[in-house]
A = this chain, B = another copy of it.
Amino acid sequence: METNVKGILEALLFVADEPLTLKQFVQITGFDTELIEKNLKELAEEYQKGNRGIQLREVADGYRFFTHPAYAPFVEELVLSADYRKLSQASLETLATIVYRQPITRARIGAIRGVNSTGAIASLQEKGLVKEVGRERGPGQPILYGTTKTFLENFGLKNIKELPPLKDFALDEETIDQLQLRLMAEPVEKAKKESKE
């Protein structure tokens, strides 16, 4: 039987237990990067068009097969539900500060959230979503936290740059004005008038 590039890639993707990078494909097959990339793209398209049970996706700087999300209810009959991936609000907030401010210390996470985040950090570490990435210079040399490859994989991201920039989540002028007004130490009428002057 004639071996074909796509078949080889497919077999490798099937057995791999983590996303495979282009570099790994090159090392294992000896084909050049362009050929591999072209075939991966075609493979992904074929699976997608056919409404197949398996989908090829690019995550965490590599390629990996996943089941099609439409069939999740059936898959969950067979394997442990992904419910455990759910995160509490505290964990999500903490994760967001780490995602957008990494590398960041525990103290700065706490300062942004206004609340001690030690427990949330520990829980994110336990889930493999964040890790210690180093230590800050200076007094106490606090631990710096950052996100992991597992984070990218679980959130379906090729890399961290795929996320919308933080400024997209900033409050608009109007909302900030509302905040201003509601924290006024004088009647609103007067405040409004003054701000117009």
Q: A: which residues have CB within 8 A of B? A: 1-4, 6-17, 20, 24, 27-29, 50-54, 65, 67-68, 70-71, 74-75, 77-81, 84, 106-107, 116, 118, 123, 125-126, 128, 132, 135, 140-143
Query: Once the chains bind, are B74 and A12 in contact (CB under 8 Å)?
Result: yes
A75 to chain B, nearest CB (A): 5
Bound complex: CA A188 to CA B2 (Å):
56
Asked if A140 meets B126 with Cβ closer than 8 Å, knowing A6-B53, A11-B54, A77-B28, the reply is yes
Known: A17-B126, A126-B142. A74 touches B29 (CB 8 A): yes
Tell me, rounded to whole Å, the shortest Cβ–Cβ distance linking A194 to chain B: 22
**13 pairs from A and B in contact (CB 8 Å cutoff):** A1-B51, A2-B51, A7-B50, A10-B52, A14-B53, A15-B67, A15-B79, A27-B77, A27-B81, A28-B77, A80-B132, A107-B126, A126-B140
Q: Which residues of B contact A51 (CB under 8 A)?
A: 1-4, 7
Residues of B within 8 A of A13 (CB): 53
